Structure 1
């Protein structure tokens, strides 16, 4: 894997404490363990999109907030801070993962309150292959809902104070992810052949890492 120049925490605007936390995450596996251990941000105070600093301060995250943290941690190790946006039908939530490559293959760091949409080993030859690995278990109300995936989005295109150190919600970056080019995973004609999850899968889907008083909110993450 070709290494790029590692920025220092100070160059990204991080404090010494923030930098120590993130630079200690030296591998994608360590990054995954860290974001998985963060309690889920159920946004009970209203919609949020916290920066890396906001996540470290509040010590909780939803999938996109965790993707920011993971991308920043990888950047500090000399890897590009790349994310991919997965979009679903209207009755379900979208998802964002952080990308990395090993030996020419893609893997993903991903935070989810359910088991299905988490880490992916770096064994996928294309982003489409990686995105399709989430397809079967990406469902809501008994219906498979994943529809598109984005090209890789390099977060270096945004100023660091827009997603790393911002004290405000990072809505502009979130909107840019929504606006990125997306690719269809299945054709409309294929939807008629999709088999709904069976009773065993539905029971397994009730297992969550963090409980929320609102089951709809727990399902969202």
Structure 2
């Protein structure tokens, strides 16, 4: 079985994450949220494991690498927003349904069980939980799945340099809209209780 340049210790860590649930728990409990205090980063899975630090892009790359060790393709989906940070999901299929794993500073933007028939269903499940500090609902679109195996030649799983080329590639994929302009004009502000619930465990950046 290929190990994509991972060390024995890196392989051991990822190989013990046998299910998407265990990958998500590892992201939540073992990887601190990267506040980028020393400047912007786009760490590879190797660096995330070593530093125990990752933001949403870095967490999704690590989750995709862990899914790959399970024997699944390393797929990610890009969520596009307005007046907010975009988000990246590691996605997988189980019994014909889509699920997701994610690292986020917001409680509602993390994992999804594999119960969604389409990627649009999966993406729209994040809509009510995707908001900015002003309480605007900001999610607008999603990409098709991106197979990170296309970056194997540049060693995306083990690179020591920042993966800005990977970040740029996923950010520039075609976005499929989730709502129409008319829907956007009618959006209500976030409910205060849901707003507060989403920030449980929030790390100030």
Aligned residues: 203
Partner of 1:92: 84
1:73 CA drift (Å): 0.9
Partner of 1:43: 36
2-structure distance, mates of 1:68, 1:170:
10
Partner of 1:14: 6
Distance change in 2, residues 1:77/1:199 (3 Å): closer
1:140-159 maps to which residues of 2 (within 5 A)?
Answer: 140=132, 141-159=134-152
1-structure distance, mates of 2:92, 2:153:
20
SS of 2:33's partner is: coil
2-structure distance, mates of 1:34, 1:207:
18
| TM-score, with structure 1 as normaliser | 0.88
CA deviation string 1:88-113 (max 9, x = no partner):
10x21000010011110000011112
CA deviation string 1:23-55 (max 9, x = no partner):
111111111111111110110000000001110
Partner of 2:157: 164
Partner of 2:25: 33
1:160 CA drift (Å): 5.3
1:1-221 maps to which residues of 2 (within 5 A)?
Answer: 7-9=1-3, 12-37=4-29, 38-89=31-82, 91-140=83-132, 141-159=134-152, 161-209=154-202, 211-212=203-204, 217=205
1-structure distance, mates of 2:192, 2:19:
37
2-structure distance, mates of 1:127, 1:170:
25
Given that residues 162 and 170 in structure 1 are in contact (C-alpha distance below 8 angstroms), is that contact kept between their aligned partners in structure 2?
A: no
| Structure 1: gaps spanning 5 or more residues | 1-6
1-structure distance, mates of 2:177, 2:125:
14
| TM-score, with structure 2 as normaliser | 0.95
CA RMSD of aligned residues (A): 1.3
| Structure 2: gaps spanning 5 or more residues | none
